[in-house]
Amino acid sequence: MTAIERAASPSRLTGAAALFSSLLAMARKEFTIMTRYPVEFVASFGQVFALVAIFTLAGLTFADASGEGGNFGGVVIYGFILFMFLSDTLWTIGYNIRREQKQGTLEALYLSPASKFASLVSRVSNNLIWTSLLSLAGVGLMTALVGKLPFANPALGLYLLGLSLSGTFGIGFAFAAITLRVKETGETLANVLQFVLLILCANFFPFAALPAGLRAISRVIPLAYGVDAFRSTLMGYPEGFPELASIGVEIVIVTVFGLLMPLIGYWAYRVAEDHERRSGGLSEY
């Protein structure tokens, strides 16, 4: 059997092993690109330090004479962690697709028999590890600034984080679909969406601070339940938390969101991709 025949054998082109192998190769390519920009590694740590310090010091300006600021440490840092993952996912998948378009490699990718799903997931796999490290650094810094943070129910917290992340992956896939359709406007849309979600999902403050009208909108966004459930669980359900629904209801919503959203997002991506392929717009940008 020649090398070409071996490479084109069905077992290497389809099935779980092929999917895993292409995912690994694509993730490795993304990792190689990342390592070419060492300043970015240092800069992202610096950014997290500055952001956490800014919001911690801002929160402390409302502290009473004894320096007591209520639950704000837990509210800010646990919301911040989810915000970092959301921001990464929203930006990275769509941005990477745009990058492939600009570099002229997107069509070449589509000519290969590799899995498109693996191609999408590989865009965020490295970031996921990196953002996890940044989150740990953020928690460490926050602890240094305001003292020990509440850390209850870690297993349930991890479950909620995992499913919320899975849901944000789905949002990222759907957003990549939008980017394929709207092209350059995708960057502006990502910015707007990020800010809108930042307010409506109340990542840096409790939902109680939102006006009633905005809180009603928050109640129809599954990710908002992810933020509320995750931080309330890790804070050990202090009085008034969770704010949007009982924890049981929130766990169900987050679970459904985490399981369904990636499927919906990927479906939306395939529809947009199909449209672009038919209209010949895949390489246009």
Partner 1 sequence: MIAEASLGSKLSIVLATARMRMLNVSRYKGQLFVEILIPIVFAAMPILLGRATGGAAAEANFLRNTGTANYPAFMLIGSSTFIIVTFAFWLVGYWIRFEQETGTLEAIYLTPTSRVWNAAGIALYSAIRSMISGSVAYLIGSLIFGVNPLQGQLLLALAFILVGLVPLFGMTLLFGALVMKVKEANSLVNLMQWTVSLLMGVFFPVAVFPPLMRLLALAFPPTWMVNGVRSALLGVGYFFGEWYLDLAVLWGFLLIAPLLGFWVFSGMERNIRRREGVGEY
Q: What residues line the site for partner 1 (CB under 8 A)? A: 37, 39-40, 42-44, 46-47, 50-51, 53-55, 57-65, 69-72, 75-76, 185, 188-189, 191-192, 195, 198-199, 202, 204-206, 208-210
* Minimum distance, C-beta of residue 120 to partner 1, in the bound complex (Å): 23
Q: Which is nearer to partner 1, 209 or 216 (CB)?
A: 209
* Minimum distance, C-beta of residue 184 to partner 1, in the bound complex (Å): 9
Measured CA to CA in angstroms, residue 61 lies from 57, 70, 75, 115 at distances of: 7, 12, 16, 51
Q: For the chain, list the strands marked E by DSSP.
A: none
Residue 245 half-sphere exposure toward CB, CA atoms < 13 A: 19
3 state SS of 73: helix
Q: Which is nearer to partner 1, 243 or 273 (CB)?
A: 243
* Minimum distance, C-beta of residue 42 to partner 1, in the bound complex (Å): 8
C-alpha distance across the termini of the chain, in Å: 42
* Minimum distance, C-beta of residue 100 to partner 1, in the bound complex (Å): 17
Measured CA to CA in angstroms, residue 83 lies from 87, 95, 132, 217 at distances of: 6, 18, 12, 18
Structure tokens at 24: 């690994």
Collect all residues with Cβ–Cβ distance below 8 Å to 248 and sequence separation of at least 6.
Answer: none
* Minimum distance, C-beta of residue 187 to partner 1, in the bound complex (Å): 8
Q: Which is nearer to partner 1, 39 or 220 (CB)?
A: 39
Q: Which is nearer to partner 1, 105 or 191 (CB)?
A: 191
Q: Which is nearer to partner 1, 139 or 282 (CB)?
A: 139
